[in-house]
């Protein structure tokens, strides 16, 4: 709730965008990244929701989408969303929240990755925690 209030306050009372802002590369790339991240996030959440049938309590390895490459595909999608939003708004509050999201969700992805490696002997060893091929 606090983040929403801060972002909203900034956009309503502080931000001033000239008409040409909407054709600026920062805005266009930011909107593209936001939509890309949202798509990744929605698809990854769909995959996670399909892992269990109602009433089941077992763990399964997520497969498909960006889960092929990373353990925290849903977290990666949300981080990309917030980076896109920060770029599109070119604001300090959005940049701060994008950085916070990267730190917080990156740590969650790391812990999920570590859990999967301990829980499943057949967990893909090439899969990274958050960033394909890198981390």
Number of domains in the chain: 1
- DSSP per residue, 5-23: HHHHHIIIII----GGGGG
In a domain, 129, yes or no: no
In a domain, 65, yes or no: yes
Q: What is the pLDDT of residue 59?
A: 92
Cα of 51 vs its chain's centroid, Å: 20
Query: Where residue 2 falls among pLDDT bands split at 50, 70, 90?
Result: confident
Q: What is the pLDDT of residue 135?
A: 94
DSSP 8-state class, residue 24: S
In a domain, 46, yes or no: yes
For the chain, give the mean pLDDT: 96
Q: What is the pLDDT of residue 39?
A: 98
In a domain, 23, yes or no: yes
Q: Does 60 score more than 80 pLDDT?
A: yes
- Nearest in space to 51 (alpha carbons), one of 116, 104, 106, 114: 116
Range of the domain at 100: 1-119
Helix axes 73-89, 25-49, angle to 10 degrees: 160
Q: What is the pLDDT of residue 61?
A: 96
Query: Where residue 125 falls among pLDDT bands split at 50, 70, 90?
Result: very high
pLDDT tens-digit series, residues 95-111: 999 999 999 999 999 99
In a domain, 132, yes or no: no
Does residue 126 sit in helix, strand or coil?
coil
In a domain, 11, yes or no: yes
Query: Where residue 1 falls among pLDDT bands split at 50, 70, 90?
Result: confident
Q: Does 52 score more than 80 pLDDT?
A: yes
- Nearest in space to 110 (alpha carbons), one of 69, 72, 81, 61: 72
In a domain, 71, yes or no: yes
Q: What is the pLDDT of residue 20?
A: 96
In a domain, 14, yes or no: yes
């Amino acid at each position: 709730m606090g983040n929403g209030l801060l972002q909203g306050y900034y956009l309503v009372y502080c931000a001033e965008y000239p008409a040409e802002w909407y054709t600026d590369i920062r805005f266009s790339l930011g909107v593209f990244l936001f939509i890309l991240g949202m798509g990744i996030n929605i698809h990854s959440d769909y995959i996670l929701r399909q892992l269990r049938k109602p009433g089941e309590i077992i763990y399964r390895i997520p497969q498909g989408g960006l889960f092929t490459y990373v353990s925290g595909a849903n977290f990666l999608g949300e981080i990309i969303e917030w980076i896109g939003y920060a770029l599109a708004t070119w604001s300090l509050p959005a940049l701060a929240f994008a950085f916070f999201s990267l730190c917080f969700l990156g740590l969650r992805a790391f812990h999920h990755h570590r859990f999967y490696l301990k829980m499943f002997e057949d967990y893909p060893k090439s899969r990274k925690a958050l960033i394909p091929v890198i981390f």
